Amino acid sequence: MNLASLWRDLSYLGVKPELPLDLRKKIVLCNRIAATVGVVILLAGFLFVKVPFLFAFYLLAALVYTSPLLLNAQCWYDASRFILSFAPSVFILLGAGMAGDGPPVSQKMALLSVVIAPLLLFQVNEPGKMAAGVGWALLSLLLYDPVTEAIPRLEAVPLDADLDNAAAQTASALVSFVLFVAAFVYQQNLNRATERELEATFHQLETRNATIGRQNEQLHGQFEEIERQKDAIETINQALRLQALKAQMDPHFIFNALNSIQHFVVQREPKEALEYLSKFSKLIRQVLENSVNETVTVADELKALTHYLDLERLRFNGAFRYEIDVDEGLDPYATDIPPMLLQPYVENAILHGLRPKTDGPGRLSIHLMNQVTHLLCVVADNGIGRAAAAELKARSPRSHVSRGTAMTDARLHLLNAGQAEPVSVVTIDLRDEAGKPAGTRVEIMIPLPV
């Protein structure tokens, strides 16, 4: 092992990577001061090899000065720095007192250099510890003269002129000056190194932040694209579900109409059956024209509805009459609504409300009213009411099941998905003055485009 590697090993004794950078630098400096001063004190002790007590005193001082190396190795970082800040003043005071009759000026210069230790080992980010070390050094300077005069000189020590002459004083002054300059230069270099590290760290952070920013932008763009694709897929799925429901509703409607034709053919004359088939063909043509579009005009919807009502009146031998009223403020040729939206409610009114009615003729009214922002469609009948219809259904297991209304409810759910103004349906049970059931009223509120 060469001296360079030994010096490095001693310098980084006890330094751990998880410690803060500032503390690691202080530990390195503490180790270097301990090793350097310890060696210097040990060599200085050999000047008094003929004075055993003083020689032993210097050996003890060298041991105390190097003890921070062991303390740092045990991770006692504060204790090691306190020893280098407080112990030198004690040894200088005792050594100066035992080596001369009066206060040696050269040792006083050495004591002055002790002030540097706490400044470097604690620095301003540990102000309490630094102030304690500096205060102790300054107190030692103030007590230097009385303390050294109070300590008796060892008889075996050479005369004061040999130890505290002009040359020794000048040398001590030069050493103290050199130590102050070295401390200042070291602190400046430390500050510059810290600034360079901070700049490098800041540059790395800027680079990392720029990279993260670009990645965030890319992720944000990908997220927006995913959201757009998700919305597009949801729109397509909703359209497909609506088309599937319409595909179910159209055959359902046609099947009911065919049942009506079958019933009519069996019950009526061939001439009347041909008239019914003619009306049915017009209805089928209108339904097919309406079914290919997402929306149809109110006029086309009412045209198909009129054909259907005419067929049902023929089927039930005129058992009910109907009326369709359109608000004057509504342009049926310029207002669009979803196709086949009203027919299931009209069918339900005929089959479950008017068909079982036995007390007088049935009436069915369809009113379309412009509500500025909405189209109000009212389907009202004077049938037996929902309660009586449910009771009849319960007594007849093979009664008609209104799948058209269920499919319409599912279709409305899809139409309303993601819409701020949904299509709403309200069913009201009508009653006469005596409180008896007098029919059913269905209100369908359809939002109009602004």
Is a pLDDT exceeding 90 seen at residue 147?
no
> Residue 171's pLDDT band (boundaries 50, 70, 90)?
very low
Distance CA 140, CA 118 (A): 14
In this structure, what DSSP letter does residue 48 have? G
Is a pLDDT exceeding 60 seen at residue 262?
yes
Q: What is the pLDDT of residue 245?
A: 45
Top mean-pLDDT range of 203-217, 220-234, 397-411: 203-217
Are the beta carbons of 41 and 86 closer than 8 angstroms? no
Distance CA 345, CA 407 (A): 11
Residue-wise pLDDT tens digits, 178-196: 555 555 566 666 667 667 7
Is a pLDDT exceeding 60 seen at residue 250?
no
* CB count in 10 Å sphere of residue 115: 22
378-385 average pLDDT score: 94
Is a pLDDT exceeding 50 seen at residue 172?
no
Distance CA 266, CA 273 (A): 9
Distance CA 160, CA 102 (A): 8
Top mean-pLDDT range of 97-101, 264-268, 302-306: 302-306
Q: What is the pLDDT of residue 179?
A: 53
Percent of residues, the chain, with pLDDT higher than 90 = 22
Q: What is the pLDDT of residue 150?
A: 83
What domains can be seen in the chain, in order of their start residue? 3-164 (no CATH), 226-447 (3.30.565.10)
| 246 or 147, greater pLDDT | 147
Distance CA 22, CA 40 (A): 27
134-144 average pLDDT score: 88
> Residue 165's pLDDT band (boundaries 50, 70, 90)?
very low
Q: Which long-range contacts (CB under 8 A, 24 or more apart) does 236-241 make?
A: 238/414, 238/417, 239/294, 241/414
Is a pLDDT exceeding 60 seen at residue 400?
no
> Residue 360's pLDDT band (boundaries 50, 70, 90)?
confident
Q: What is the pLDDT of residue 106?
A: 67
237-259 average pLDDT score: 57
> Residue 281's pLDDT band (boundaries 50, 70, 90)?
confident
Whole-model pTM: value is: 0.47
Distances (CA, A) of 28 to 19, 69, 73, 133, 231: 12, 10, 11, 19, 62
